[in-house]
Amino acid sequence: MISIVIPVYNEESAIERTLKALPFGEGVEVIIVDSQSDDKTMDIVKKYPVKIVTSPRGRAMQMNAGARIASGSILLFLHADCRIDNGGVLAIKEGIAKGYVGGCFTHKIDSPYFMFRLIELTGNIRSKVFGLFYGDQAIFVRRDIFEKVHGYPNFLIFEDAVFTKKMKRMGRVTVLNAKAYVSPRRWEKYGIMKTTLLNWALTIGFMMGVSTDRLAKLYKNIR
């Protein structure tokens, strides 16, 4: 079984599109981890056959909380504003069957603007060359590996990158050809160039060893 863990907080504008794209059925469970949303998020979620758990706010804490109640031998962590290709679950199973301990999807921004193609390109190169995965690429991992590395570190930012570094030490990882489509809402809210340059600066800072607490102060909440 694959357990899909989705952390949410006030995601009424995005969560339904994400849930509609999921392959509910045998062999798949969906776990929503809410941190006391006060909008219509949970009203929307309850229309779907999902497990619901609450957690203190914080993506790392929420994902870890979802993993603790998961039944699957494979975990897929999905952002509330991301959706995966129709064949995404099958692609994960095939990847694990080939001996990979985990990986992510090819990054695709859900917008036709050409500038986003360049942003995708740099992100996918980062993933394939450096094995540095971000959460909006839909990270997946074998459950036993997730437990061995003690899940996500409780950081405000780059918890995904730190986790994938630990995952890589446990075995081979892959970037699937299947795509994860992420909402362009952050770029639309703060501007494409400004957001992209900030993201690059944060990544460089992280790779140079700047503390995640300092980097988190520069990363604005989009809600």
Give the CATH number of the domain where residue 138 resides: 3.90.550.10
Does residue 31 form part of some domain? Answer: yes
Q: Among 49-63, 138-152, 183-197, which stretch is predicted with the lowest mean pLDDT?
A: 183-197
At CA 54, angle to CA 85 and CA 167, rounded to 5?
A: 50
Domain holding 14, by residue range, is: 2-183
Average pLDDT value for residue range 169-196: 90
| Domain assignment of residue 209, yes or no | no
State residue 221's pLDDT score: 63
pLDDT band at 106 (very low <50, low <70, confident <90, very high): very high
Per-residue model confidence (pLDDT) at position 39: 95
Is 202 a domain residue? no
Higher per-residue pLDDT: 105 or 196: 105
Residue 211 lies in a domain: no
Structure tokens at 169: 């030490």
* Average pLDDT over the chain, rounded to an integer: 92
Q: How many domains does the chain have?
A: 1
The answer on pLDDT for 217 being more than 80 is no
Contact assessment for residue 155 and residue 161, using Cβ atoms and an 8 Å cutoff: no
**Inside any domain, residue 205:** no
Please state, in angstroms and as integers, the Cα–Cα distance from residue 51 to each residue in 10, 31, 57, 93, 169, following that order. 18, 5, 18, 22, 31
- Read off the pLDDT band of 46 (50, 70, 90): very high
Count Cβ atoms within 10 A of the Cβ of residue 177 and give its class: 0-12 exposed, 13-18 middle, 19 or more buried: exposed
